[in-house]
Chains A and B, each alone.
Chain A
Amino acid sequence: MRKILPLFLFLFLIFAIAVVISSISAYDVSAPGTEEQKSSIMVTGYQVNPEVLMRNDIGTITVTVKNMETSKSVNIKDARILSRNLKVLSDSYFNIGRLGPGESLKLTFTIKATCPDGIYYPRILVEGEDAQNIRYSFPVTVDSSSLTIGVKNVPDEIFKGERARIELVVGNPRQNTITGVKIVTEGREVIPSEVFIGTLSPDDSKTASFNFTPQAKGTHILNFKLEFKNGDDHHYTELSVPLNVTESKKSAELILTGIEVESMPEQNVYKITGDVNNAGLEEAKSVVMKVGDAEGIEAMHPYKSYFVGLLSPDDFSSFELNVKVGENETQVPLVIEYKDEDGNMFSKTEYISIERHQGTTSSGELPPGSMIVVLVVIAILVIGAIAYSWKRR
């Protein structure tokens, strides 16, 4: 008996060690995609969406479990995902039910990539009541690389008031397809304000064009925002494009000369005439002279505006405008509108001074002092003549 007891203890110890080793091995990170034991159920596939997660992205893992038996159903008790790096947001499946012979079951889990970039191997555990448990590991890639956006083409020189075409290129250096790609800008002088690109495949690129028409010279910084979706998660990246805007050296330059302001018979109505000259090196098309909007200023018929038309370089044309000027106004804004060859509209405002006449009696009158002198002289003459006649009677 004394010899049998140590042997029994030895065998019990060996059995216990074997049980412990067996249980530990169920949680061991072994080679992925390999089944350790033959089972009547097996994992036949898995799908990660999005295929490649960015850090802090929320995605789904869908695992397909299939009953490999041909005539026997299997009762699946529970299924869960285990991972040290990825955060599993969804609950485990319990008491899933019976899976008929040859039938498949898709189990979906929600995960969040809280980990740094890398490849991780979460493990799914499926326990069957009348089948052996299966453990299956699969790779999940976390890559935080963003889409790239850059300037593809921009004019060497950008001129004030002229339209400049700016081309941006968006690239996808990621391993998965990105959806909902669009470029948004809030610049008032940029059209369109948004370009939708849509889906962008891995290692693919697409171009978006914007028209920039600056109204002032100097340095302009155009801010573009590239927005996209990786799965259901929104991401964006920004691009700032500094542009230097200068005055065009060749553009039309319209100036006014020979301005004359003539008072019209109507009260406070003036006729403004003059010449509009093109001192630039390019043609000014569809030139129109107008009276600008201002308080107390009203354009009048017959020349509320004056169409000059085409004005070639070094050419000029006369114009005429009628305007009613309020009592307190002393200046009239004249607006010169014209277009360049591309149809871009330009506008320039010049102010013309109005010499105010004092109502109906301003001109042609003797100064008050002179009037009194004339009256007094005549009065003296008449009184003198009367007095003289009475003296001589």
Chain B
Amino acid sequence: MLEVLTNPNSFFEARKKGEESLRIPVIIVLISGIIGGISAFLSSSMMMEAMTKTLPPEVRGFISFMPIGAAIGAVIASFVIWLIIAAIFFGISALFKGEGRFKRTLEFVGYGYIPTIIGGLISAVLVYNFVTTVQIPAITDPAEITEVITSLMKSPMMLLSSAIGILFMLWSANIWVFGLKHARNLSTENALITVAIPVAAYILFSVYQTVVM
């Protein structure tokens, strides 16, 4: 399994000879989703604490479920995003006359989630460390919500977490290049372009969201 990290070309070349199976990719995406859910739980807990005083008492009970909802949503979202990424790759590779079934693409894209597990673990530790020690101001004016949450999200620890996430996204992208090469029978260059377009768009959007917004 570690070969997918160190020599993905060889890993997918060997894997292509076997039957299409989503069992391992689903487990990988699930683990990645759970770790992302932990980070989402911690982040939303911090936001909820900041927002509690702006809400009427009858709503506070409802909003207490927000962290759990965020965690579950993160797990579900990881599967949805998996499908979307695979679909995008499948669509772009079709422009390069790629061949192969969508299931194989989905399977190989799922393997590419392994680096995000490592990155997610590191980010979760950083977020936990930040959330448990930060002085969170109580917001009494709803107009301050955006300002306070923005200041929390732009804290150095959260920026570090985002940067680490982008680095591991690049590692995943590298795996996806070789995965698509074999899943869709593409040349290395075409596979690189296929992956680079959506990944670059995602990274640029993330950087823009973090720095500018």
User: What residues of chain A have their CB less than 8 Å away from a CB belonging to chain B?
Assistant: 263, 265-267, 357, 359-366, 368, 371, 374-375, 378-379, 382, 385-386, 388-390, 392-393
Contact = CB atoms under 8 A, between A and B. Distances in A.
Interface in B142-169: 148, 151-152, 155-157, 160, 163-164, 167-168
B64 interface: no
A303 B133 CA distance: 26
A360 B137 contact: yes
Contacts of A374: 160, 164
8 contacts: A265-B138, A266-B137, A360-B151, A368-B156, A382-B171, A389-B5, A389-B178, A392-B7
A392 B9 contact: yes
B135 A386 contact: no
A371 B160 contact: yes
B129 interface: yes
Interface of B: 5-10, 49, 115, 122, 129-130, 132-138, 140, 148, 151-152, 155-157, 160, 163-164, 167-168, 170-171, 174-175, 178, 188
Contacts of B138: 265-267
A294 B160 CA distance: 41
A268 to B, nearest CB: 9
A305 to B, nearest CB: 23
Nearest to A387: B174
B137 A389 contact: no
Contacts of B148: 360
A383 B10 CA distance: 19
Given A361-B155, A392-B10, A382 B170 contact: yes
A386 B151 contact: no
Contacts of B134: 360-361, 363-364
B133 A386 contact: no
Contacts of A266: 137-138, 140
Given A361-B156, A388-B6, 14 more contacts: A359-B135, A360-B136, A360-B137, A365-B155, A366-B156, A366-B160, A375-B160, A375-B167, A378-B122, A382-B168, A385-B6, A389-B5, A389-B6, A389-B8
Contacts of A392: 6-7, 9-10
Contacts of A385: 5-6, 115, 171, 174
A375 B164 contact: yes
Contacts of B171: 382, 385-386
A371 B6 contact: no
Contact of B135 (A263, A375, A379, A382): A263
A393 B122 contact: no
A263 B134 CA distance: 12
A360 B6 CA distance: 40
Contact of B167 (A364, A366, A382, A390): A382
Nearest to B171: A382
B112 to A, nearest CB: 12
A364 B136 contact: no
Given A363-B134, A389-B178, A392-B7, A375 B156 contact: no
B137 A265 contact: yes
A360 B135 contact: yes
A382 B115 CA distance: 9
Contacts of B167: 375, 378-379, 382
B163 A360 contact: no
B156 A393 contact: no
Given A375-B163, A386-B174, A357 B135 contact: yes
Given A360-B151, A389-B7, A393-B188, A366 B174 contact: no
B96 to A, nearest CB: 18
B6 A365 contact: no
Nearest to A363: B133
4 pairs of A and B residues whose beta carbons are closest in the complex? A364-B133, A393-B9, A361-B155, A265-B138
